[in-house]
Amino acid sequence: MIEDAGEYDFIVVGAGSAGCVVAARLSESGRHKVLLVEAGPEDKHFWIHVPLGYANVFADPRINWMFESEPEPALYNRTMYQPRGKVLGGTSSINGMIYIRGNREDYNGWRASGCDGWGWDDVLPYFKKAEGSDGLKVAPNPVKHELAEAVLRAAQHAGLPYTPDFNGDQQEGVGYYRFNIFKGRRWSTAKAYLEPARTRKNLRIVTGAHVSRVSAHEGRATGVVYDKDGVTFEAKAKAEVIVSSGAFGSPKLLELSGIGDARRLSSLGIEPKLDLPSVGENLQDHFYTQLMFRCTKPITINDFANSWPQKIIEGVKYLVSRRGKLASNHLYVGGFTRSTSGLDKPDIQFNMTAWSVAERTAAGAKPHPFSGFSLSPVHINPDARGAVHISTSDSRRPASIRFNFLESEYDMQAMIYGVRLMRTIAEQAELRPYVAEEIQPGPSVKTDEEIVEFLRRKAVSNLHAVGSCRMGPDRINSVVDPQLRVHGIEGLRVVDGSIMPRIVCGNTHAATVMIAEKASDMILSAVR
């Protein structure tokens, strides 16, 4: 038996980086009744809100989906761990908090591919809106570090220009990151958008609710079916259903609802409602590895993590003043550059982190028992394309995720360049006094062949999956149109990072929030 959950103007599925924004903006005027449905709990977990606490939520099943990819053929069949937020705020409640808009050519490329209205000049106002007084807080790291200064100088000595703001006129170069951290606390979309909206009478938030399908009738989405506390409910939407479940969750929900490749769905016993072959295709992610160094000074997070007296002192400091080591994510500086001439934008990003990891366990990352830091090259414009699809009609089972990393020559050459660049930076006079030794991959790894072998054994997903509900002008090669409406069915949109035609050059959270801001205006314009 299905219980009636009421009727709303809009139903938003997923309270993550995009869903919180959409629900807040659609309910802002008070004229529209909005239901926001989230599978996870409220964002009350203490470590969510502490910037350094993301190490503790990296593998917490209470607030993290903890997905795993299928084995990657080019990486010795290793699986790629995929943490995703299962909580109000979604992955914005557990991520590293770096705020990067991406490169202007990313969005001009979207427009050139047929996505009218998504060029740089079109999206810039929505980035600014997202960074406004009623949006995300974006600020420099509140904690300074001498290693960061050394890396900054070393990278410039290695040939990278200084850039004061990666979100400004010049992305390329080396500089300090900006973060969604404000007054010593994480600023997730739940904090920025949902918290101020919660008292609105026209907004209902349901947590702990697992959506199993979108209801449809005569070519129109009419609502959603969800389970909560052992009871099945159906909520109806008068205007639209907005799916904001992320690069893994959104294509999964569409397929469970009978929207996708008809042959695939029929083989799983799901009645096809709409044959849309691109659902779940075009999956993209950044790819990275860590070069780790033993530090000559006891100044890294390893030293803090391995010392209970330091933990106690810093814990008290944070509780009293919201300052100290816990008030930072300890990702300080980074850079953007090109692995080869002729590219129209950077394809390599790198990050400096004031820690090194001995191993990753089910409980999270375990630091080395000595002082260490990392320089991590990231390939941000890869050839690799994968897919995410359901393999069963059981809505509780995770989708099958495939990335196909490191299968093109360009992807390999770009990462080789990135590894060599990190070593060049580490060898500069400004950073050399801090380097006792390279511990990963180690000095024995020298040739291109040896670097590729290292990458196959150690490099991983950078956890920026996008693209699986691609935006585009036609229903053969895309899932949604440039208004983010699902091709072939009325009253249904997808609004999250899954709509990106091509992954942006930089961390994807800022772009996802921008998409949600822009989509909210589109949706409201359609009902006025």
What is the tens place of the pLDDT at every residue in 184-197? 999 999 999 999 99
Inform me whether the pLDDT recorded for 202 exceeds 70: yes
Q: What domains can be seen in the chain, in order of their start residue?
A: 1-138+181-284+385-405+467-528 (3.50.50.60), 142-176+287-381+407-458 (3.30.410.40)
CA angle at residue 26 from 24 to 27, to 5 degrees? 65
Sign of CA dihedral 68, 74, 78, 80: negative
pLDDT at 213: 98
pLDDT band at 362; cut points 50, 70, 90: low
pLDDT at 54: 87
User: Which of 208, 252, 250 lies closest to 226, judged by CA?
Assistant: 208
pLDDT band at 527; cut points 50, 70, 90: confident
Sign of CA dihedral 306, 312, 316, 317: negative
| DSSP H or E run through 524 | helix 509-527
pLDDT tens-digit map of 233-268 = 999 999 999 999 999 999 999 999 999 999 999 999
d(C-alpha 395, C-alpha 253), whole Å: 8
Q: Output the six-digit token pair for 134.
A: 């009623």
DSSP-assigned beta bridge partners for residue 288: 378, 460
pLDDT tens-digit map of 286-318 = 999 999 999 999 999 999 999 999 999 999 999
| DSSP H or E run through 234 | strand 231-243
pLDDT tens-digit map of 434-458 = 999 999 999 999 999 999 999 999 9
In a 13 Å sphere around the CA of 124, the CA atoms on its Cβ side amount to: 10
Inform me whether the pLDDT recorded for 528 exceeds 70: no
d(C-alpha 435, C-alpha 443), whole Å: 13
CB within 8 Å of 296: residues ≥ 6 apart: 371, 433, 434, 435, 436
Q: Give me the mean pLDDT over the 337-349 stretch.
A: 96
Interhelix angle 448-458/409-426, rounded to 10 degrees, is 100
pLDDT tens-digit map of 390-426 = 999 999 999 999 999 999 999 999 999 999 999 999 9
The residues that are catalytic are 464
Per-position DSSP letters for 223-271, written without gaps between them: EEEEEETTEEEEEEEEEEEEE--HHHHHHHHHHHTTEE-HHHHHHTTPP
pLDDT tens-digit map of 482-521 = 999 999 999 999 999 999 999 999 999 999 999 999 999 9
DSSP-assigned beta bridge partners for residue 366: 359
- The position carrying tokens 């009636």 is 4
pTM: 0.97
In this structure, are residues 120 and 127 in contact, taking their beta carbons and an 8 Å threshold? Answer: no
Alpha helices for 322-434 (secondary structure H): 409-426
User: Which of 470, 459, 463 lies closest to 515, judged by CA?
Assistant: 470
